[in-house]
C-alpha cells in the first residue's frame, strides 16, 4: 500500500509539472504574439523563439533571422492588434484562436499552432488565416462563443472522438450516425456559411452537393487537446483547390457541441524544409 501511495504521489506530481509547463508555454505564446505582432518589439523574437525555427506558412521563410526581419519591417508601420479568443496546450504544443489587425487591409481570423523545445522556446509554427466575415445565418461570428476550459480529465477521450470523427466522416466519408459524434440538440456552428444544429450542417452539405462543389479532407496532420477543446489541422480539397482546414471543437458529455474553423487555400510552390506533406 505504501508503494502504491508513493507511486500515486509521483504521478500526481508529474501531472502537476506537466500542466505547469503547458500553462507557462501558453503564457509565452500570449506574450510573444502581443510583443512581436502587436507592439512590433524585435526583442520579443529572441526572448520567445529559438533556432532551428521551422515556419510552415509557405510565404514565410524559416529561421529566426527572417522572423526578426519581418517584425522590423512591421515596426515601420502602425501598431498591429492581437486579440486572443482561445488558447489551449498539450505537451509541447500550444494552439491559439486569434484575430489580427494591421497585417493587411482587413482583420484576419487565425488559428496558430506553436511547438516548444525543452528550453521553453518556440521552434515551430503552423497557421491558417481568413478575413473576418459577417455573422452566419444563426448570428454567430467566427470567434464568439464559449471560452472556459473544463473537463481536463476527459482530454484523451475528447481527442479520440474528434480524431475518429475526422477520420471516418471527413476523410473516409463513411455513413455514420452523426448523433454519435455531434449533439443533436445543442450544436453551435461558427462557420460563416452554415447554421446551428444538424439541420444547418445538413443544409450546408446539400448546398455543396447541389452545386457540385467538392468538399473533403485528405489527411489529418495535428491534434491539440485540452479538456473540452480539441483543435485539428488537416488538408483536403474545397471545390478544385487544395485547402487547409483548421477546426476547433468544444465537447460536452462526450459529444461535439460547438465548432469554429478557418478554411483557406494552400499556396502552391516550394515549401519550407520540414513541411509535413502539403500542409
Does a structural domain hold residue 15?
yes
pLDDT at 229 over 50: yes
Same domain, 72 and 22: yes
* Residue where a domain terminates, one of 102, 131, 160: 131
Buried b / exposed e along 173-184 (16+ C-beta atoms within 10 A): eeeeebeebbbe
Same domain, 118 and 72: yes
Same domain, 44 and 124: yes
Average pLDDT in the chain: 88
C-alpha distances out from residue 249 to 76, 109, 152, 196, Å: 37, 16, 14, 14
Same domain, 227 and 117: no
Same domain, 6 and 127: yes
Same domain, 113 and 218: no
Same domain, 156 and 187: yes
Same domain, 7 and 123: yes
Q: How many CB atoms lie within 10 A of CB 141?
A: 17
The C-alpha cell of 100 is what? 489580427
SS3 228: coil
- Report the alpha-carbon distance of residue 14 to residue 31 in Å, rounded: 26
Q: How confident is the model at residue 19 (pLDDT cuts 50, 70, 90)?
A: low
Residue in this structure with the C-alpha cell 522572423, named with its chain if needed: 67
C-alpha distances out from residue 205 to 35, 63, 198, Å: 41, 41, 10
Contacts of 23 (CB under 8 A, 6+ apart): 89
CB 206 within 8 A of CB 195: no
* Residue where a domain terminates, one of 131, 160, 193: 131
Does a structural domain hold residue 136?
no
C-alpha distances out from residue 191 to 36, 78, 132, 261, Å: 29, 30, 11, 6
CATH number at residue 57: 3.10.450.50
- Report the alpha-carbon distance of residue 35 to residue 61 in Å, rounded: 20
Buried b / exposed e along 42-61 (16+ C-beta atoms within 10 A): bebbeebbbeebbbbbeeee
Same domain, 199 and 245: yes
* Residue where a domain terminates, one of 99, 131, 163: 131
Same domain, 51 and 102: yes
Kindly report, residue by residue over 185-228, the tens digit of the pLDDT: 999 999 999 999 989 888 988 988 899 888 899 999 999 999 99
Does a structural domain hold residue 276?
no
SS3 108: strand
Q: How many CB atoms lie within 10 A of CB 242?
A: 15
Number of domains in the chain: 2
The pLDDT of residue 6 is 35
- Report the alpha-carbon distance of residue 187 to residue 26 in Å, rounded: 28
* Section 164-175 average pLDDT: 95
- Report the alpha-carbon distance of residue 108 to residue 101 in Å, rounded: 6
Residue in this structure with the C-alpha cell 520540414, named with its chain if needed: 274
Kindly report, residue by residue over 115-143, the tens digit of the pLDDT: 999 999 999 999 999 999 999 999 999 99
CB 267 within 8 A of CB 260: no
Q: Which domain holds residue 63?
A: 2-131
* Section 48-74 average pLDDT: 91
Does a structural domain hold residue 18?
yes
Length of the chain in residues, anyone?
279
Same domain, 103 and 165: no
The pLDDT of residue 98 is 97
Amino acid at each position: 500500500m505504501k508503494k502504491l501511495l508513493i507511486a500515486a504521489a509521483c504521478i500526481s506530481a508529474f501531472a502537476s509539472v506537466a500542466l505547469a509547463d503547458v500553462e507557462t508555454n501558453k503564457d509565452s505564446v500570449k506574450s510573444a504574439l502581443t510583443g512581436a505582432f502587436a507592439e512590433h518589439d524585435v526583442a520579443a523574437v529572441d526572448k520567445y523563439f529559438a533556432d532551428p525555427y521551422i515556419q510552415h506558412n509557405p510565404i514565410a521563410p524559416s529561421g529566426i533571422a527572417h522572423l526578426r526581419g519581418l517584425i522590423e519591417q512591421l515596426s515601420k508601420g502602425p501598431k498591429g492588434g492581437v486579440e486572443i479568443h482561445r488558447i489551449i496546450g498539450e505537451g509541447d504544443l500550444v494552439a491559439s484562436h486569434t484575430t489580427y489587425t494591421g497585417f493587411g487591409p482587413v482583420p484576419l481570423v487565425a488559428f496558430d499552432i506553436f511547438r516548444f523545445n525543452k528550453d521553453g522556446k518556440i521552434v515551430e509554427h503552423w497557421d491558417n488565416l481568413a478575413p473576418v466575415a459577417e455573422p452566419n445565418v444563426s448570428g454567430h461570428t467566427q470567434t464568439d462563443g464559449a471560452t472556459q476550459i473544463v473537463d481536463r480529465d476527459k482530454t484523451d477521450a475528447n481527442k479520440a472522438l474528434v480524431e475518429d470523427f475526422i477520420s471516418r466522416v471527413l476523410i473516409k466519408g463513411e455513413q455514420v450516425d452523426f448523433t454519435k459524434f455531434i449533439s443533436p440538440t445543442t450544436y453551435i456552428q461558427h462557420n460563416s456559411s452554415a447554421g446551428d444544429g444538424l439541420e444547418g450542417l445538413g443544409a450546408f452539405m446539400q448546398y455543396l452537393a447541389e452545386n457540385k462543389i467538392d468538399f473533403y479532407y485528405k489527411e489529418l496532420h495535428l491534434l491539440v487537446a485540452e479538456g473540452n477543446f480539441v483543435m485539428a489541422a488537416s488538408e483536403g480539397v474545397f471545390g478544385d483547390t487544395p485547402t487547409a482546414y483548421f477546426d476547433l471543437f468544444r465537447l460536452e458529455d462526450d459529444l461535439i457541441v460547438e465548432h469554429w474553423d478557418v478554411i483557406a487555400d494552400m499556396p502552391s510552390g516550394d515549401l519550407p524544409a520540414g513541411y509535413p506533406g502539403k500542409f
